[in-house]
Amino acid sequence: MAFRLVRQLAPSAATRVNTTAAATRINSVAAATHVARGVTSLSSSLVLQSTRALRQGVHVTAPQRPSLTAIYDLVAQYHHVSDPVHDKNLADNGGSDQRPLVSAKWLYSHLDKPNIKVIDCSWRMQNPTTTPAQEYEEAHIPGAVYVDVDAIADLTNPKPHTAPQDPAIVAEMLGGLGITEKDTIVVYDNQNMLASPRLWWMLTTYGAHKVRILEGGFAAWKSAKYPIEKGPGKQTGSPKKIHKHTVGVAKFHPHFHQERLAKLPEILKFVEGAEKQSAGQHSATLPYVFDARAPGRFQGTDPEPRPGLESGHMPGAINTPFSEFTAIDEQQQVARFKSEPELKEVFKKAGVDIESVDPSHRIIATCGSGMTAATVYLGLHILGRKNIALYDGSWIEYANPQLGNKIVKGK
């Protein structure tokens, strides 16, 4: 059966195959060779040539032979060879633009690629006994650089980690760490993806083409017992210090997507409209605003962690706690981002059938300071929403007592 299928797949003309890419699609050269031996059109010398090519990562031109992809398909079907890139049902893949999550296994197998740049962006809201930068020095993924999300920001703004209006700030910092907008950038943190969605949002908002989040964060890497590096490595604490810890400098060309950023005037316009609409109704002209804070803070029963701020929520906002977007992987016992059906249930639980919302409808994610709102943003992005924005000022700005904005208690 396998023999007949391979004969049918064999092209009639010469086939040029990029075996560097094909090597990632075949877990075992021996398995591919095993299938190839059943094909009369594949001579032993061609098998040897293909095998060497796979190992060396070069191009091969061979007359009248099935493509390596076709061989892979037969191997997968008849010999149950697992391939993370080919099997989209497996978690061990390089993610996609819509679901930008990669596994520790994928990252480990690609860590030596020159275009793979890894960033540790661990963050703490309150003063810990050790700083994330110190924890980075104690242990991090080999080759990773450290980026302080409070530093890749508008430092003239008193609010923390505010997205800078000048894209050059982001470009200078990333370029100083040897990162370009064309690199595949993998971000991770040591708190079960608390901060990595924020940096993913930041980098893509400022023009990075391919940003991925390490699913499960540093805990997933350690759980898999992959190697760990110690020492200061490359890190940045502020834009003025970026070249101090850097060996190589690159050029990052920014492209600022300002539409992904919601500001206070848009929020106040939303609140004004929300107060006019009937209870339980949502006007087609108003955006949806999802608040990622914990229920107690949203309802006003728990205090805000930052002094001087009253808890509660803005009129019309809907509570979708960021913790609802992740679950514990039963096998690895580390956090994973929920699947699309599970994410739809998160919004349905909050009273919104996200599938029935017009694709062009504006949706805004908010939280305490703009950090965990990025988790909600990521969930919406995975569900295919396009018109999404993050309210960067979030509760710190809206609930500023000097502004006197209306605060609602309860659900």
pLDDT tens sequence across 138-189: 999 999 999 988 888 888 888 888 898 899 989 998 998 899 999 999 999 9
Question: Does the reported pTM lie above 0.85?
Answer: no
Question: Binning pLDDT at 50, 70 and 90, where does residue 300 land?
Answer: very high
367 part of the active site:
yes
- Residue 280: the pLDDT is 64
Query: What's the rounded Cα separation, in Å, for the pair 174 and 121?
Result: 13
CB 195 within 8 A of CB 149: yes
* pLDDT tens digit sequence for 356-404: 999 999 999 999 999 999 999 999 999 999 999 999 999 999 999 999 9
pLDDT at 234: 64
Residues 126-140 pLDDT 10s: 666 778 888 999 999
* pLDDT of 12 higher than 50: no
pLDDT value at 111 more than 70: yes
DSSP state, residue 338: P
> Can you read off the two tokens belonging to residue 389?
């924005």
Q: Which tokens hold the place of 13?
A: 């003309």
C-alpha count within 13 angstroms, C-beta hemisphere, residue 136: 24
| Candidate list 17, 367, 388, 389, residue with the active-site label | 367
Express each pLDDT in 35-70 by its tens digit: 333 333 333 333 334 333 333 333 333 333 333 333
Query: β-strand 261-262 against 234-236: which pairing, if any?
Result: unpaired
Q: In this structure, which amino acid lies at residue 185? A: I
pLDDT at 183: 94
- Residues 306-317 have a mean pLDDT of 94
Q: What domains are defined for the chain?
A: 2-79 (no CATH), 101-241 (3.40.250.10), 258-398 (3.40.250.10)
Phi first, then psi: what are they for 146, rounded to 5°? -110, 130
DSSP string, 249-301: ---------GGGEE-HHHHHHHHHHHHHSPTT---TTSPEEEE-S-HHHHHTS
Measuring CA to CA, which residue among 318, 331, 304, 305 is closest to residue 373?
Answer: 318
